[in-house]
Amino acid sequence: MQRTELEHYTCALLDTARFRDYSPNGLQIQGRDEVRKIVTGVSASLALIEQAIQRDADAILVHHGYFWKNEDACIVGVKQARIKLLLTHDISLFGFHLPLDAHPTMGNNAQLGQRLGFQLEGWAGEQNLIAYGALPEALTLEALSARIGERLQRPPVAIGIHDRPIRRIAWCSGGAQGYFEQAAALGVDAYLTGEASEQNVHFARESGVAFIAAGHHATERYGIQALGEHLAAHFGLHHEFIEIPNPI
């Protein structure tokens, strides 16, 4: 298929035009015109690019791409090495940030909820990025943390009363610890995200709403995989997800 067709279809699918984001969504680095194989990954690191080259990929699709708001615009150092490698091998880079978090079925939040067994009821917060719903059965914070650690293959940090039952939960993948108070206002027993800030501990203790930090990378593996699988099935492309381990 043509790169331009892939770009137009994916941007429409994720409704990228409606989002106010911190980086451009869609094609970020232009490569060859024809696309037969795509590689997906969480972040467009040098390691991901090198593995995509080894696998003869025509395009890379990631959640964390390049050209973030307020970053230095100069293409030097690490940024130069990454972009040079993409251009040398004529590989396109597509980045999808908030649109991939928010998609109702393939998004990071929808996919994370499915993997953790949450029953999605609705969306809230800025640009509808916070998902909320219920657990099929009440679990203590300790038991819920153990389940999350098992399914995400990373032990979470959980702040709260460990034997208190959790019935209702809100979640937002990645670095969404700033949404904790908005999530608590939904009347949930716990809020799950990827990262934690110092003040989250105090709010959890004082509000009675548990806070769970399950890892930025760990909570954002699944949307980009779902997108790659969809594109491969829809267009008959070869697709491979490449996991670059990240403890954060």
Residue 225 C-alpha from the chain's centroid:
10
Give the end of a domain, one of 77, 101, 125. Answer: 101
Q: Report the C-alpha gap between 201 and 189 in whole angstroms.
A: 15
Statement to judge: residues 132 and 180 lie in one domain? yes
Q: How high is the pLDDT of residue 126?
A: 87
Asked whether residue 238 is assigned to any structural domain, the reply reads no
Give the end of a domain, one of 66, 86, 101. Answer: 101
Give the model confidence (pLDDT) of 40-55 as tens digits.
999 999 999 999 999 9
Please say if the pLDDT value at position 2 is more than 90.
yes
Q: Report the C-alpha gap between 151 and 169 in whole angstroms.
A: 17
Mean pLDDT for 77-90 is 98
How many structural domains comprise the chain? 2
Which CATH number covers residue 112?
3.40.1390.30
Asked whether residue 42 is assigned to any structural domain, the reply reads yes
With CA atoms as reference, report the closest residue to 168 among 200, 208, 129.
208
Phi, psi of 42 (to 5 degrees): -75, -50
Enclosing H/E stretch for 95: strand 92-95
Average pLDDT across the chain, whole number: 97
Q: How high is the pLDDT of residue 239?
A: 98
* Rg of the chain on CA atoms, in Å: 19
Statement to judge: residues 87 and 110 lie in one domain? no
Statement to judge: residues 84 and 120 lie in one domain? no
Statement to judge: residues 188 and 213 lie in one domain? yes
Give the model confidence (pLDDT) of 138-183 as tens digits.
999 999 999 999 999 999 999 999 999 999 999 999 999 999 999 9
Statement to judge: residues 81 and 112 lie in one domain? no
Which one-letter amino acid corresponds to residue 164? R
Residue 50 C-alpha from the chain's centroid:
21
Statement to judge: residues 63 and 107 lie in one domain? no
Q: Which two three-digit tokens encode residue 143?
A: 């038991």
- Secondary structure E strands in the chain: 26-29, 37-43, 59-64, 92-95, 119-124, 130-140, 157-159, 165-171, 190-193, 210-213, 238-241
Q: Report the C-alpha gap between 183 and 25 in whole angstroms.
A: 26
Global pTM reads 0.96
Asked whether residue 193 is assigned to any structural domain, the reply reads yes
Statement to judge: residues 87 and 28 lie in one domain? yes
Residue 82 belongs to what domain range?
3-101
